[in-house]
A and B are shown apart, each in its own frame.
Chain A
Amino acid sequence: MTFPATDCAFEGFRLTRRAPLAVLSWAGAYAVFIGLMFMLVGPHFVTVLSVITEMQAQGQTEPSPKDVERLAQAYGVIIGWAMPLGLLFSAVISTAIARSVIRPEDRKFGYLRVGKDELRVLGASLLVSLIMFAVTFAGFMIVTLATAGAMALPALWLVVVLLSLAIIGLLIWLSVRLSLVVPSTFAEGRIMLKPAFAMTGKKVFWPLLGMAIIAGILAMLVGLLGSAVAAPLSLMVGDSEQLVAMQGASVPSLLSALGPMLAVSLVVQAVLSAAQIVIMYAPFSAAYLQLKGAPRA
């Protein structure tokens, strides 16, 4: 069975028209998430910046063992918070998008929840990420080995290039084959790795890839238009002369002086991220419904 790929590619726009408040609430969730991350890891981010500033001031090109220790500590905290919270937030947002397409009537809290569905989607996303990581890592190792061989035998450079292209092709193929894991996991109420893989076989692969390309380009266009619309706003609040005049100022004073600019950036970033993610993700849920022969809202 196949499906109308170009029609599904526009599901994000349809969803925005159907449930604008939900999309706005996702933008709000993004703003809260970015703000929360800033509060949790902000001081450690300042540590990283100040270590780099000190190194530059002392003309150091390599960090000292003490600097490395401070950097490692700061990065450890940043990654320690950002990884789990980022994964959970991503699962919440992608489940909300899937819910809004597959169960549009379930619109409470802008489709946002933290429950079993989100945990299942988190598990499925982790599995997909692990598979992709394993393939990328194996590919990287193979290319590294071939590159080492090419250093000794230059004729192998062609093999290196062909292998790299083959691995990129394999990753694209795998991404398409696993692209319906999230909507099917949400719809079926269990992690659907193998069935989703089986669903995206021969006849569906190319339309699905085409749909993903169109959705990606649409998201790019929205990002471009959004930044064009937001640029005058940023220019109004972000006084570039003030920014240049503050060269070398401490990070806290920079943050306090550029508060309005940061606030505008936060809002713009949150709205654009939400819009782009809806345009990118919603088509896969629509494609899943079409392939299942279920009616779409």
Chain B
Amino acid sequence: MELRTLPNKIYRKIHRCFLLDIHQEAYKKLVEVFGTAESFGKTLEVSVTTPFGFYEIPNRDNVNCMEFLKISDLSVYKTIIFHNLVGAGLARESLWRLIRKLKWYTGNIVLMEHNAYSADWEYRPELFLCYLKPEELLLMLCTTLPHRSFRITYSRGLRDTFRNFFAHSLC
């Protein structure tokens, strides 16, 4: 029997005991994208609720979506991270609105989301429709921020290597 065919209950137990911390996996991937943890610079992390996110990043402010929209000067931040917004229940239209605010922002942009394709939600069909797909986010980004080019990096989950994805554009 392959590991990925084990029932969810057993899977979670194995995961808790031995395997990995999904948050740490995501953070490791993010650091890989930037090269070093120091490269983040002053960071603004946007999440649906606060406090939340990559607490490991040294110089980090954490705000929710409404607070983000109220910030008048984004240029003080070297990096802006949207941390799993649609995955945490934010509507796609609201994500468009947040992305549009980045139109004149010239620093590093990272958008992290749950990947709708991941086998981690294989038994919950509604999530295939709720969560974002990499191609969908890339389409959103290339129509809203056409002057930036984005790449996709994946971080692993319980059942496969692409539970979460980062769309990133570094300057």
A binds B: no
The interface of chain A, by Cβ under 8 A from chain B, is none
The interface of chain B, by Cβ under 8 A from chain A, is none
